[in-house]
Amino acid sequence: MKILIINGPNLNMLGIREPQVYGDKTYQDLVDYITKIASNYQDDVTVFQANGEKEIIERIHQAYFDQVKAIIINPGAFGHYSYAIRDAIASVGIRCIEVHLTDVDHREPFRKVSVIRDVCEKSYYGKNFVSYKEAIDYIHQV
């Protein structure tokens, strides 16, 4: 299956960024983890990271032309307020799963809000890297 994984702002700083919250594994560790899970399914997976809203929106648009079958997105903080990313997901009509490393429902109140959730089939969060595994497993089951 052709899958696009999008990681939003500050996720490139994993391993350095607030290790007490996000753990001590690096962004490259996350990419390696995702690649391994996807290879078990023989998926054609692309893992993309950007810190800018524009780059993420343009990558979602490109997924339409690339005939991507599923998008798994960790929007980082954009998930809490970017209606533009929400609309980009709705625009392309590609099934989308939201993931977060941390349990966003039990952190600061602003993290409880997800403006992309209504255009995503499912949300997995709070299990660190395993949140991505749950999303990959889900798209192969449903």
- Sites of contact with ligand DQA (CB under 6 A): 10, 74, 76-77, 100-102, 104, 111
Euclidean distance between CA atoms 140 and 37, whole angstroms: 12
Kindly state the helix (H) or strand (E) to which residue 141 belongs, with its residue range: helix 130-141
Q: Which residues contact 30 (CB under 8 A, 6 or more apart)?
A: 7, 11, 14, 129, 132
> Minimum Å distance from CB 111 to ligand DQA?
4
Let me know if 41 is a catalytic residue. no
Nearer to ligand DQA, 112 or 140 (CB): 112
- The structure tokens listed for 46 are 């692309």
Let me know if 100 is a catalytic residue. yes
Nearer to ligand DQA, 74 or 82 (CB): 74
Nearer to ligand DQA, 17 or 69 (CB): 17
User: What residues are annotated to the active site?
Assistant: 22, 100
